[in-house]
């Protein structure tokens, strides 16, 4: 997993509440279990004017010119700003995969659905909660021509606007440490690889019948 330390990027303001995981990545894309390749389908139903699927070429589809991520400069955004209850709905981890594959490193909202929030930390996307007043201020800053850029510092737990105010955020120390070191569940397990191998060797010697090939 890619570590998150300090990130500077353009904010994409998506001024909607209760954005569910089916909106983030529709159900027809769940057939794929790879973590990559979902970026072109992020917010698929809002982003395109015609229906899509894994068997439909992106180049053949028509973009919705009114959708924010199809507009300049937000095509290059790496920070997403949204409203309450972001990531609600189903538990599909594909939603975070799609955000990460598009290039989103951080999502800021007043609140998140619990499962989506947990999935973010497993995939190197930092979810940050701010109160409504701070989120309103960030939306106002992002509305200027050319958008707004933010500096997200996980070391200091601060989000800063260029030539503007800074906002502190809270995060559990365990999650913060893992994000800083780029450790997901697999990475945490592999830190004990030597102990796992030692246990398997000992187990194989004590009970060899458990390791016989069928």
Whether residue 73 is preceded by a cis peptide bond, meaning omega within 30 degrees of 0, is yes
Give mean pLDDT, residues 147-160.
96
Q: What span, in angstroms and rounded, lies between the C-alpha atoms of 60 and 62?
A: 7
Q: What span, in angstroms and rounded, lies between the C-alpha atoms of 41 and 47?
A: 8
Q: 192 and 158 in one domain?
A: no
Residue 23, in any domain of the structure: yes
What share of residues in the chain are helix, strand, coil (percent, to 5)? 40, 15, 45
Res 183: pLDDT: 78
Per-residue CA distances from 84 to 36, 95, 145, 206 (Å): 27, 17, 25, 55
Q: 105 and 192 in one domain?
A: no
Count of domains in the chain?
A: 2
Residue 1, in any domain of the structure: no
Q: 198 and 171 in one domain?
A: no
Q: What span, in angstroms and rounded, lies between the C-alpha atoms of 4 and 181?
A: 8
Q: 75 and 39 in one domain?
A: yes
Identify whether the C-beta of residue 126 lies closer than 8 Å to the C-beta of residue 4. Answer: yes
Q: Is pLDDT above 90 for 211?
A: no
Residue 201, in any domain of the structure: yes
79-81: strand order across its sheet: 126-129, 106-109, 79-81, 6-13, 149-153, 158-161, 166-168
Q: 190 and 140 in one domain?
A: no
Residue 79, in any domain of the structure: yes
Q: 143 and 209 in one domain?
A: no
The number of residues in the chain equals: 214
Q: 105 and 85 in one domain?
A: yes
Res 192: pLDDT: 64
- Name the phi and psi angles at 121, rounded to 5: -65, -25
Domain that holds residue 149: 6-183
Q: Which residues contact 188 (CB under 8 A, 6 or more apart)?
A: 178
Q: Is pLDDT above 80 for 175?
A: yes
Q: 189 and 176 in one domain?
A: no
Q: What span, in angstroms and rounded, lies between the C-alpha atoms of 170 and 108?
A: 12
Residue 138, in any domain of the structure: yes
> Who has greater pLDDT, 202 or 67?
67
Q: What is the CATH number of the domain that holds 140?
A: 3.20.19.10
Q: 174 and 157 in one domain?
A: yes
Count Cβ atoms below 10 Å from residue 138 Cβ, excluding itself: 23
Q: How does pLDDT run across 62-87, given as a tens digit for each residue?
A: 999 999 999 999 999 999 999 999 99
> Who has greater pLDDT, 147 or 84?
84
Residue 65, in any domain of the structure: yes
Res 33: pLDDT: 75
Q: Which residues contact 4 (CB under 8 A, 6 or more apart)?
A: 105, 106, 124, 126, 154, 179, 180, 182
Give mean pLDDT, residues 197-214.
76
Q: Which pLDDT band holds residue 196 (cuts at 50, 70, 90)?
A: confident
Residue 51, in any domain of the structure: yes
Q: 195 and 146 in one domain?
A: no
Identify whether the C-beta of residue 137 lies closer than 8 Å to the C-beta of residue 159. Answer: no
Residue 16, in any domain of the structure: yes
Q: How does pLDDT run across 88-102, given as a tens digit for each residue?
A: 999 899 999 999 999
Q: 40 and 23 in one domain?
A: yes
Q: How does pLDDT run across 104-143, given as a tens digit for each residue?
A: 999 999 999 999 999 999 999 999 999 999 999 999 999 9
Q: How does pLDDT run across 8-55, given as a tens digit for each residue?
A: 999 999 999 999 999 999 999 988 777 788 999 999 999 999 988 888
Q: Which residues contact 90 (CB under 8 A, 6 or more apart)?
A: 20, 21, 22
Res 157: pLDDT: 97
Q: 167 and 189 in one domain?
A: no
């Amino acid at each position: 997993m890619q570590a998150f330390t300090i990130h500077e990027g353009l904010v994409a303001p998506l001024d909607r509440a209760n954005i569910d995981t089916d909106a983030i990545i529709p159900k027809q894309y769940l057939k794929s279990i790879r973590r990559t390749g979902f970026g072109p389908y992020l917010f698929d139903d809002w982003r395109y004017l015609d229906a899509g699927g894994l068997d439909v070429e992106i180049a053949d589809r028509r973009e919705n010119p009114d959708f924010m991520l199809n507009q300049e400069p937000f095509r290059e955004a790496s920070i997403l700003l949204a409203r309450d209850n972001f990531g609600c709905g189903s538990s599909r981890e594909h939603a975070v995969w799609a955000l990460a594959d598009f290039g989103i490193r951080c999502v800021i909202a007043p609140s998140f659905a619990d499962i989506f929030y947990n999935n973010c930390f497993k995939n190197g996307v930092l979810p940050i909660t701010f109160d409504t007043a701070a989120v309103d201020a960030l939306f106002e800053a992002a509305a200027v021509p050319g958008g707004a850029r933010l500096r997200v510092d996980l070391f200091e737990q601060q989000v800063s606007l260029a030539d503007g105010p800074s906002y502190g955020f809270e995060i559990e120390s365990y999650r913060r440490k893992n994000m800083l070191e780029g450790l997901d569940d697999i990475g945490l397990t592999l830190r004990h690889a030597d102990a796992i191998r030692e246990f398997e060797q000992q187990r194989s010697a004590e009970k060899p019948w458990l390791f016989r090939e069928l």
